[in-house]
Structure 1
């Protein structure tokens, strides 16, 4: 793991593994680069996999929570790409990471070779936002990693079914750190105050469809968990209507967000990577 320094002085953690076409992996709101370990397993021999932690998450520095915003995170992505000397990348964006990809379509469209959206689109379901605000910034209820992993199957059912115990254990390790007899989130709890105004019931969501349309001509992929509470079937259908060439997979027994170890998810990633390098 290495770090690049943003213009405001925050150190942003990143990792580069493998060789081939660059695949930039951007995690969800409270997630970190370790979410993409299954992508490393599947693609390390056929892509240069770049993973990063957004500011305030994972191994990156915490900063002013006012900067925990999608446009700033998009600017941080460009800082990393400039640091690595990469002019163009395919983006695999999980949830928040996919929103960052949409903003980059407006900020730096020529630097996007392709985009794979992991359970996210231009519209977000309000019930999903309410669910996020129910836990965001609050201490974990479990006290140990095994306790957290054991609670996941019940907590995430019925959206997630048939998940191996090892996958839940890996998820607990990625989400939490065990310290002083308690579990701690691997992100700045002030992330809650940064995003709360946008998640308020009376907040007016920005129209992101023009940003999606700005990706015309760019290879696209969409992975949707069939039980998602963030990406509705209607939004996914509209994305496909606007981009009938978009590679698509809907994963049964998965919600928000798929683990990216599912065969159909790997197929979408592989197909878009191939299209982006033609």
Structure 2
């Protein structure tokens, strides 16, 4: 793991492994670079896999919660690309990371070689937003990683089925940190106050379809969990109508978000990465 100092002084954690075309992995709202361990396993021998923690998450510094916003996160991505000397990358964006990719299409479209959206699109289901706000910023209910791993299958049912116990154990390790007093979240709880206004009753969601359309000409991929409460089947279908050339996989027995160890998900990433480097 390495660190980049952002213009406002925060240290941002990132990791680069592998050789080949650059694949930039951007995590979800409360998640971190370790979510992409399966991608690293599958692609490090054929791609330069770049993973980063957004500010306030994972190993990155915590700062002013008002900066925990998608445009700032997009600016941090550009700072990382400049730091690494990369002109163009293919982006794999999980949930929030996919929103950052769309904002980057407006900020720096020439630097995007392709985008794979992991269970995210220009519209977000209200029930998914409500679910997020129900847990965001609250301490974990579990005392140990083992307890969390045992409880996660019930917590994510029925959208997730046939998930090996070792996958739940890995997920628990990625999202929680064990301390003497119990588990803690691996993100700044102040993230809740940063995003709450966008989720408040009556808040008007920004129209992201024009940003999605700015990706015209770039290879695209879409991975959707069939039981997702964030990306509806209707929104996925609309994305595919606008981009009929977009690679697509809908994963049975998965919700928000797929683990990215699923064979159809790996095939989507593989295809888009190949298209983006032709």
TM-score when scaled to structure 1? Answer: 1.00
**For residue 251 of structure 1, what is the aligned residue in structure 2?**
251
Which whole-Å CA distance do the structure 1 matches of 2:227 and 2:200 have between them?
23
Are residues 1:196 and 2:191 paired? no
Are residues 1:125 and 2:112 paired? no
Once the two structures are superposed, the pairs formed by residues 213-228 of structure 1 within 5 Å of their partners are 213-228=213-228
Deviation at 1:181, TM superposition (A): 2.7
Instruction: Return 5+ residue gaps in structure 2 as ranges.
Output: none
Instruction: Return 5+ residue gaps in structure 1 as ranges.
Output: none
Deviation at 1:233, TM superposition (A): 0.2
Which whole-Å CA distance do the structure 2 matches of 1:141 and 1:104 have between them?
36
**For residue 35 of structure 2, what is the aligned residue in structure 1?**
35
**For residue 50 of structure 2, what is the aligned residue in structure 1?**
50
Once the two structures are superposed, the pairs formed by residues 203-242 of structure 1 within 5 Å of their partners are 203-242=203-242
Once the two structures are superposed, the pairs formed by residues 1-278 of structure 1 within 5 Å of their partners are 1-278=1-278
Which whole-Å CA distance do the structure 2 matches of 1:222 and 1:27 have between them?
15
Which whole-Å CA distance do the structure 1 matches of 2:201 and 2:170 have between them?
33
Deviation at 1:127, TM superposition (A): 0.2
Residue deviations 1:30-49, cap 9 Å, x none? Answer: 00000000001100100000
Deviation at 1:180, TM superposition (A): 1.7
- CA RMSD, 1 decimal: 0.3
Which whole-Å CA distance do the structure 2 matches of 1:201 and 1:29 have between them?
20
Which whole-Å CA distance do the structure 1 matches of 2:67 and 2:46 have between them?
35
Which whole-Å CA distance do the structure 2 matches of 1:118 and 1:203 have between them?
25
Residue deviations 1:23-69, cap 9 Å, x none? Answer: 00000000000000000110010000000000000000000000000
SS where residue 250 of structure 1 aligns? strand
SS where residue 108 of structure 1 aligns? helix
Residue deviations 1:228-269, cap 9 Å, x none? Answer: 000000000000000000000000000000000000000000
Task: Find runs of 4+ consecutive structure 1 residues off by over 3 angstroms.
Answer: none
Deviation at 1:201, TM superposition (A): 1.9
Which whole-Å CA distance do the structure 1 matches of 2:154 and 2:52 have between them?
30
SS where residue 239 of structure 2 aligns? helix
